[in-house]
Amino acid sequence: MVVLITGVTGGLGQVIARILTEGGMTVYGTSRKADQTISNCILLPMDIKDSDSIANTLREIVAKEGRLDAVVNCVNEMIIGNVEETSVEEFRSVFEHNVIGAYNLCHQILPYFKKQNNGVIVNMSSAGGELAIPYMSAYTASKFALEAFSEALYHELRDSPIDVVIMQPVAMHMKRPATGNHLHLTKGVKEQSKSHAMVKMMANDTEASKLTPEKVANRIHKVLTSKKRPLRVRMDKAHVLSLLKRLAPQSLMDLAFKKILPV
């Protein structure tokens, strides 16, 4: 199986590349910086925001391998800040990375999949794709949108041999600082803003999480090697959060947010 992973230089992307390679797959990864090295995959320069860059990458892989069986969209941008603090430019950037880039790649890869009569699209969402989180409006809005177009595409392709899978992990415990670049404050955040407390809370959740990139990567490997693939794969707390969102009355959700969010 030939697999393309976007955003492969991130913490999760590198682990997915390693697990899939160890599982016998041929793995290509993309990054905007061509001078980086990832030992577990063939790294290609690609800008997810550039249509020509995506087209060139797909052509190069298919020309070399004769096929491309799956894509894992792992590009992810997150900013923390309330609506007033988040500029339109920052909001747009999150959507360009998390939604439009993934949409563009799906749009361009479908002709290849249809020609070879098979393919798998794995889009990395999160629990924030079903549960809107205060102080993370840009991020959760982008994940809602990612899930919406992924689900629509799933229905469009349901009678074909092309599958669409939405992965929903939650905060993962990684070997990196708890408040690294993945927890990124908007530029407009003031010193007294509750957004700072939100960063600390998310850092604590990450540090305490029992979900690891290895668990997510192994689940993706299982999805890719399965004959029957689900639309959504909810992991760890995503199961409970999704259930609460669908069944709990708004008054209960309001109370839950009041207890867990910064005050």
Q: Quick check: 106 pLDDT over 90?
A: yes
Query: What domain count does the chain have?
Result: 1
DSSP per-residue string spanning 160-204 = SSEEEEEEE------SS-TTSTTSEE-TT--TT-THHHHHHHHHH
**Among candidate residues 69, 164, 72, the one with its CA nearest the CA of residue 112:** 69
State residue 95's pLDDT score: 96
| pTM, 2 dp | 0.90
Q: How far apart are CA 107 and CA 109, in angstroms?
A: 6
Q: Mean of the pLDDT values across residues 168-190?
A: 73
Read off the CATH number of the domain in which 137 is found.
3.40.50.720
Distance of CA 74 to CAs 12, 42, 99, Å? 8, 16, 11
Range of the domain at 116: 2-260
State residue 88's pLDDT score: 96
pLDDT digits (tens, 9 = 90+) for 86-95: 999 999 999 9
Eight-class DSSP state of 135: T
The pLDDT-based confidence of 179 (bands split at 50, 70, 90) is very low
pLDDT digits (tens, 9 = 90+) for 193-237: 989 888 888 888 778 778 889 999 999 999 999 999 999 998 877
Element (H, E) at 45: strand 42-45
Element (H, E) at 234: strand 232-234
Q: How far apart are CA 214 and CA 239, in angstroms?
A: 19
Q: Mean of the pLDDT values across residues 18-39?
A: 87
State residue 4's pLDDT score: 98
Q: How far apart are CA 153 and CA 119, in angstroms?
A: 13
